């Protein structure tokens, strides 16, 4: 049995691992992102897999599977506010101020962004004493001023968290640089990574879109706006991080460059008739040259109206016929004395 077959048998695909851990696929993906379940690269290049030993470790934890499900439970605004004992409005204000951080989002049928939060984090926030004044009474003046200015840190906080999730899943320097590049506009990336071959290499490792919407659809454009950094200081920080990440990737290994094309010289007899005698660099013609475009000496050799190429083929045919006649036994016997 080959080593690759042994490795495959000792690991599970992600869908199989989700079933083994009794999680829905969305819960399982969140468990991977949070580090509750560890995955390993597929040696065959097929993405990520989960080792059998990791499945056994998680299943042996106390309270499985309810405890694991509770750790990855994500709730929306209404359920989150109920967990914290506050109104939906106050919960939204806390989220806009960045005091509670979303873990993921989706678009509902009206293409409205629905943010989801870890239930475990919300309960912890509500039980901490320093947060008591934020859960009831008047909001502190500084925070009220930010809300009046329209601050909304939910997209930015989600991007930071999402980038951390993606970086946790890989150790490859180019893949890590691609994670940072995915949060920047392509123009910003081109300004930092000037080599086209390096940008193409980054695109190979680009993370999958966070939405299943069709490309260029309204839903995909909304998700793209959320994924892209839009604040000047955030963009500046990501640009610096991308530059450092690419330098580290270059030190690990250079990006592959395209192989130069090598022209193979061939004997003139092996080239098509239309290419024999063509000057180097001259454009290829789709049709054979006309008699009027032939050199003057060639034109004078044939009467007007005759195609030199056609006549050349005729001469070749006569020569071939004569050679066959000489080779024919009947022809030799008829000419013998």
DSSP states of 6-70: HHHHTEE-HHHHHHHTT--HHHHHHHHHHTSS--EE-TTSSSEEEEHHHHHHHHTSTTTTHHHHH
Distance CA 76, CA 102 (A): 9
Exposed, middle or buried, 337 (CB in 10 Å: 0-12/13-18/19+)? Answer: exposed
Distance CA 203, CA 216 (A): 18
pLDDT score, position 117? 98
Query: Is the predicted pLDDT of residue 91 greater than 90, yes or no?
Result: yes
pTM over 0.85: no
pLDDT score, position 273? 47
Is there a contact between 28 and 14 (Cβ–Cβ < 8 Å)?
A: yes
Cβ-proximal residues to 160 (8 Å cutoff; 6+ apart), any chain: none
Query: Is the predicted pLDDT of residue 2 greater than 70, yes or no?
Result: no
DSSP code for 97: T
Distance CA 312, CA 298 (A): 12
pLDDT band at residue 329 under the 50/70/90 scheme: low
Query: Is the predicted pLDDT of residue 183 greater than 50, yes or no?
Result: yes
Query: Is the predicted pLDDT of residue 152 greater than 70, yes or no?
Result: yes
Q: Greater confidence, 82 or 295?
A: 82
Q: Greater confidence, 326 or 127?
A: 127
Tokens of 138: 């008047």
Report the DSSP beta bridge partners of residue 48.
Answer: 41
Q: Tell me the pLDDT tens digit for each residue of 23-80.
A: 999 999 999 999 999 999 887 767 889 999 999 999 999 999 999 999 999 999 999 9
pLDDT band at residue 176 under the 50/70/90 scheme: very high
Q: Greater confidence, 259 or 286?
A: 259
Q: Tell me the pLDDT tens digit for each residue of 204-255.
A: 999 988 887 888 899 999 999 999 999 999 999 999 999 999 999 999 999 9
Long-range contacts formed by 89-97: CB under 8 A, 24+ apart: 90/135, 93/139, 93/143, 93/147, 94/134, 95/154, 96/147, 96/151, 96/152, 96/153, 96/154, 97/143, 97/146, 97/147, 97/151, 97/153
Q: Greater confidence, 59 or 273?
A: 59
Distance CA 159, CA 161 (A): 5
Q: Rounded to the nearest 10 degrees, how much is the dihedral formed by the CA atoms of 285, 286, 287, 288?
A: 40
pLDDT band at residue 326 under the 50/70/90 scheme: low
Query: If you average pLDDT over every residue of the chain, what do you get?
Result: 83
Average pLDDT over every residue of 309-318: 53
């Amino acid at each position: 049995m080959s080593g690759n077959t042994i490795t495959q048998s000792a690991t599970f695909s992600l869908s199989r691992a989700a079933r083994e851990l009794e999680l829905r696929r969305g819960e399982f993906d969140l468990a991977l992102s949070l580090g509750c379940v560890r995955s390993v690269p597929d040696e065959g290049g097929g993405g990520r897999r989960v080792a059998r030993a990791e499945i056994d470790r998680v299943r042996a934890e106390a309270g499985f599977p309810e405890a694991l499900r509770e750790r990855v439970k994500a709730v929306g605004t209404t359920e989150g506010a109920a967990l914290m004992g506050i109104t939906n409005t106050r919960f939204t204000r806390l989220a806009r101020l960045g005091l509670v951080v979303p873990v993921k989002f989706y678009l509902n049928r009206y293409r409205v962004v629905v943010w989801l939060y870890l239930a475990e984090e919300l309960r912890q926030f509500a039980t901490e004493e320093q947060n008591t004044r934020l859960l009831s009474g008047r909001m502190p003046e500084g925070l009220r001023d930010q809300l009046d200015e329209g601050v909304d840190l939910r997209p930015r906080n989600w991007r930071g968290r999402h980038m951390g999730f993606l970086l946790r899943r890989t150790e490859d320097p180019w893949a890590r640089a691609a994670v940072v590049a995915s949060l920047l506009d392509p123009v910003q990336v081109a300004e930092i990574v000037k080599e086209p071959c390096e940008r193409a290499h980054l695109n190979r490792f680009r993370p999958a879109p966070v939405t299943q919407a069709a490309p260029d659809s309204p839903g995909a454009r909304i998700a793209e706006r959320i994924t892209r950094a839009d604040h000047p200081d955030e963009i500046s920080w990501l640009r610096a991080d991308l530059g450092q990440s690419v330098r580290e990737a270059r030190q690990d290994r250079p990006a592959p460059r395209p192989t130069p094309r090598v022209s193979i010289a061939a004997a003139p007899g092996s080239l098509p008739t239309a290419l024999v005698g063509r000057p180097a660099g001259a454009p290829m013609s789709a049709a054979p040259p006309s008699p009027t475009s032939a050199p003057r000496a060639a034109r004078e050799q044939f009467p007007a109206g005759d195609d030199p190429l056609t006549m050349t083929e005729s001469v070749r045919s006569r020569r071939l016929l004569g050679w066959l006649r000489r080779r024919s036994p009947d022809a030799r016997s008829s000419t013998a004395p």
